[in-house]
Amino acid sequence: MEYNYRPENNTTQARHWFALYTKPRHEFTAAQQFSELGIEYYLPTVVKIKQWSDRKKKIVEPLIKGYIFIYSNEKERIIALQQRGVVSCVFFNGRPATIPNWQIDNLRLMLETESDFQITDQIEVGTKVKIISGPFEGVLGEVNETSNGKVLSITIDLLKRSVTAILPAESVIKVVDEETDKKNNGSEE
């Protein structure tokens, strides 16, 4: 399920998809405000069954809590940011982050299938990391396995051998950009 509004708008300015942060539990409020203003938006939602002590009820929830997407030009983006349900725009490198059309299209296609899926914020397998606390503090490695967000298996290359450390997810792990790390350590390949 999704909430989507596409007004008839013949603007000549370039339009892009932007992700906006909303206040907690204000995604639907922001959607209503955008609809009233004629700003095209996309709020991907899912239907979940909630269990109370005496009944079950189907609830429509945002797929990605705290976010809503708008397809707008710069003027509409600024107007959207002034709405009471919106906190800010997602930025990347000091500029409003634009989302490619294909990513929004893929999200829509995934939701149309009605298959079982989940959104997670855990570190993906293959991600380069630096451990910043615990007995492995300062060690660089690569995540090669995750287990329900509770345990991370990290491979550490040492003398062309791999040492695998199983760490609790509570140990703070920082994602490392390889190029930045090489510059910081002064190493070049």
pLDDT score of 137 = 73
Phi and psi, residue 184, nearest 5°? -65, -35
Check residues 57 and 109 and name the one with the higher pLDDT.
Answer: 57
Q: Degrees (nearest 5) of the Cα angle 14, 15, 17?
A: 145
Check residues 134 and 189 and name the one with the higher pLDDT.
Answer: 134
Check residues 176 and 22 and name the one with the higher pLDDT.
Answer: 22
pLDDT score of 12 = 57
Residue 167: in which H helix or E strand, if any?
strand 161-168
**Structure-block tokens of residue 177:** 């950009």
Domains and CATH numbers, the chain: 2-112 (3.30.70.940), 128-185 (2.30.30.30)
| CA 23 – CA 95 distance, rounded (Å) | 21
**Cα 125 from chain centre:** 16
Edge-to-edge strand ranges of the sheet holding 151-158: 161-168, 151-158, 140-147, 128-131, 173-175
Per-residue pLDDT band at 165 (split at 50, 70, 90): low
* pLDDT tens-place string over residues 74-125: 999 999 999 999 999 999 889 999 999 998 888 888 788 766 666 666 667 7
Structure-token match 């703070």, residue found: 172
Tell which residue, 99, 105, 3, has the closest CA to residue 46.
3
